Amino acid sequence: MHIAILGGTGKEGRGLAYRWTRAGHTVVIGSRSLERATAAAAELNDLVAGAPAGRASDAPVSGADNPAAAAAGEVVVLAVPYEAQPPTLEAVRASLGGKVLVVTTVPIDPAARRRVRLPAAGSASAEAQQQLGDAARVVAAFQNVAYEQLTGEEPVECDVLIAGDDAAAKATVAGLVRDAGLRPWDIGPIANAVVPEALTVALININVKNKVRGAGIRITGVPPAA
């Protein structure tokens, strides 16, 4: 699958790009700057080439500006800070054409990172769907996965809660979650994206209080076959 990661020059986007490239997907890194996107793509190609099991994708990671990346991706991932979400989405709206848009955003207040702050729409993901309307099928995912976990070689000890209003879009994202080495859980409509977004703030508090960086979540009580 061709996957565009808007803001893929940053921490979470790079981690996802690393995992998906190793799983055989073709990733294009999006940025406001073509130069930064190209540099991040080159770094990722070096990282993947040096990985123990070698690269799985035949296509190298590439870089593009955000609108060109969004046009190239079959699935588009938004990996920018909350404040950057509205302008980034506006910049790519014309390129989305009803595609699946994975929103990783946590609406953190940079001045109070340990306190929940939710937008009027209920969550950043719901806000993205409201902003875009029919231009994209928004699926919230990956809010609870720390980037440090994604660039390592160990299995990621965190599940992924997926919220969205389009069942086919959620199934596509669930496949990408598995390809990244994590377990997906469908938690219902986009209105429920408030759950993983707010939960991340709890994980930040756990990280701080226990002096760790990658606290995550696990769903228990469900047999593997389910």
Ligand X SMILES: NC(=O)c1ccc[n+]([C@@H]2O[C@H](COP(=O)([O-])OP(=O)(O)OC[C@H]3O[C@@H](n4cnc5c(N)ncnc54)[C@H](OP(=O)(O)O)[C@@H]3O)[C@@H](O)[C@H]2O)c1
Residue 11 beta carbon to ligand X: minimum distance, rounded to whole angstroms? 4
User: In the window 145-174, what residues touch ligand X (CB under 6 A)?
Assistant: 145-147
Buried residues in 79-99 as b, exposed as e (16+ CB within 10 A):
bbebebbeebbebbbebbeeb
DSSP 8-state class, residue 8: T
Q: In angstroms, rounded to a whole number, what is the distance separating the alpha carbons of residues 15 and 180?
A: 10
Stretch that binds ligand X, among 2-10, 126-134, 165-173, 175-183 (CB under 6 A): 2-10
Compute the distance between CA of residue 10 and CA of residue 128 in angstroms, rounded to an integer.
20
* Amino acid type, 82: Y
Is residue 85 helix, strand or coil? helix
Choose, by CB under 6 A, the member of 3, 4, 5, 10 that binds ligand X.
10
Regarding 70 and contact with ligand X (CB under 6 A), the answer is no
Q: What is the CA radius of gyration of the chain?
A: 16
Sole window of 11-19, 152-160, 163-171, 186-194 interacting with ligand X (rule: CB under 6 A): 11-19
Contact pick of 68, 80, 100, 160 for ligand X (by CB under 6 A): 80
Nearest to ligand X of 174, 215 (CB atom): 215
Q: Closer CB to ligand X, residue 32 or residue 93? A: 32
Nearer to ligand X, 58 or 152 (CB): 152
Q: Closest separation between CB of residue 98 and ligand X, Å?
A: 23
Query: What one-character-per-residue DSSP string does 156-194 give?
Result: P--EEEEEES-HHHHHHHHHHHHHTT-EEEE--SGGGGH
Binding site for ligand X (CB under 6 A): 7, 9-13, 31-33, 36, 79-84, 87-88, 104-106, 108, 142-143, 145-147
